[in-house]
Amino acid sequence: MFRPEIKVIDCTVRDGGLMNKWQFDDAFVCKVYTTLIEAGIDYMEIGYLSSESAFSRDEMGPWKFCAEDDIKRIVGETEKKIKLSAMADIGRIDYDDIPQKSESSLDMIRVACYAHQVDAGIDLAHHCIDKGYETTINLMAVSTVGLRELDEALDDLSKSRVPIIYVVDSFGAFYSEDIEMLAKKYMERLPGKTIGIHCHNNQQLAFANTIAAIISGINYLDASLYGIGRGAGNCCLELLISFLKNPKFKVRPLIDAIESEILPWQEKIDWGYYIPYMVTGTQNQHPRTAMAHMESANKNKVTQFFDQITSAT
């Protein structure tokens, strides 16, 4: 009743950090780390790899950079029981700032790029492969990409050495039939490669769309504790693990971590289902306008936001 090929990647710290500039303390990150091990999760995405020439440590927390000294404070010197991942954005990381795998606690680097950046994404991913890392390319915002441009990007990716390619619903705009169509397209255009899925929850469909992806044969699945993530957040890890039938996964540790570490953050930052995030999702727009509205004094004037966004389309 389960596929052993399925791997689950937790994005709590990396995607959740988009809502608080990665200002999680070590106790939070340690609790997520130990919880994911206890729950049997395959990968923990602990943050971003970014260059300090692109971002300031005075503004951003340590998980925007994932320096080895910071990671060591979390995992200690003992053998890791979970693989660690970090994401790298095109243009925000210098190649020289990526250590050799032998000098890093990271196991995987996931390169995030848009369709028009796919050549640069492949080059960065190959650089990471040559340094010894597992590597993916996460093709972002594909809901905004025309079919011809997407086909060209996938054809380029098919010729690369990158083994895992992600469908990313960055704006939470997709429905299950979109996921099914894209899964089929990716598999046809990317023979021999593994496909992943990363869903946002603007329309309350991240979990449903992840299930559609699983049924369609997608094997790398992203989720986060209580769905914490940018804007409307992600597929909820506890829902996903409850759905999967692999006996290695355990739900109770996730619930415990949500109670102790995630629920307190809900008092400070607004992720999850809110009308402004719903509006940008239905309009297939980046959630930045909704995030700005949610941080304003007018956050509850949702009709005003609806009129503002829909009148501009």
Same structural domain for residues 148 and 54?
yes
Per the structure, how many domains does the chain have? Answer: 2
Across all residues in the chain, what is the average pLDDT?
A: 97
- How many Å is the maximal CA-CA distance in the chain? 56
Same structural domain for residues 303 and 168?
no
pLDDT at 16: 98
Please say if the pLDDT value at position 313 is more than 80. no
pLDDT at 79: 86
Structure tokens at 51: 């260059």
Structure tokens at 136: 């993916």
Please say if the pLDDT value at position 312 is more than 80. no
Same structural domain for residues 30 and 159?
yes
Backbone angles phi, psi at 247, to 5 degrees: -70, -10
Structure tokens at 56: 């300031």
Same structural domain for residues 116 and 234?
yes
Average pLDDT over residues 1-27: 95
Same structural domain for residues 283 and 234?
no
Asked if residue 18 is part of any domain, the answer here is: yes
Asked if residue 188 is part of any domain, the answer here is: yes
Average pLDDT over residues 154-182: 98
Contact (CB, 8 A) for 213 and 244 = no
pLDDT at 2: 81
Instruction: Looking at the chain, list the stretches that DSSP marks H as alpha helix, in order from N- to C-terminal side.
Output: 12-16, 26-39, 68-75, 118-130, 147-158, 176-189, 206-215, 237-243, 252-257, 263-266, 275-282, 288-294, 302-311
Same structural domain for residues 120 and 175?
yes
pLDDT at 78: 80
Average pLDDT over residues 222-250: 97
Same structural domain for residues 152 and 283?
no
Contact (CB, 8 A) for 64 and 55 = yes
Same structural domain for residues 150 and 286?
no
Taking the C-alpha atoms of residue 143 and residue 165, their distance in angstroms, rounded to an integer, is: 16
Q: What does the pLDDT look like over 178-230, one tens digit per residue?
A: 999 999 999 999 999 999 999 999 999 999 999 999 999 999 999 999 999 99
Same structural domain for residues 197 and 294?
no
Residue 1 pLDDT class (50, 70, 90 cuts): low
Taking the C-alpha atoms of residue 239 and residue 207, their distance in angstroms, rounded to an integer, is: 7
Among 30-34, 51-55, 119-123, 134-138, the least confident range: 51-55
Structural Rg of the chain based on CA atoms = 18
Taking the C-alpha atoms of residue 244 and residue 6, their distance in angstroms, rounded to an integer, is: 9
Domain CATH number, residue 34: 3.20.20.70
pLDDT at 164: 98
Asked if residue 1 is part of any domain, the answer here is: no
* Among the listed residues 134, 143, 207, 137, the one whose alpha carbon sits nearest the alpha carbon of residue 171: 143
pLDDT at 220: 98
Contacts of 235 (CB under 8 A, 6+ apart): 199, 201, 206, 207, 209, 210, 221, 222, 223, 224, 227
Contacts of 67 (CB under 8 A, 6+ apart): none
Range of the domain at 159: 7-266
Same structural domain for residues 240 and 291?
no
Average pLDDT over residues 148-168: 98
Same structural domain for residues 260 and 282?
no
Q: What does the pLDDT look like over 54-113, one tens digit per residue?
A: 999 999 999 999 999 999 999 998 889 999 999 999 999 999 999 999 999 999 999 999
pLDDT at 274: 96
pLDDT at 292: 96
Same structural domain for residues 255 and 283?
no
Question: What is the identity of the amino acid at 76?
Answer: G
Neighbours of 298 (CB within 10 A): 10
Please say if the pLDDT value at position 133 is more than 80. yes
What share of the chain in percent tops pLDDT 90? 96
Taking the C-alpha atoms of residue 281 and residue 287, their distance in angstroms, rounded to an integer, is: 8
Asked if residue 2 is part of any domain, the answer here is: no
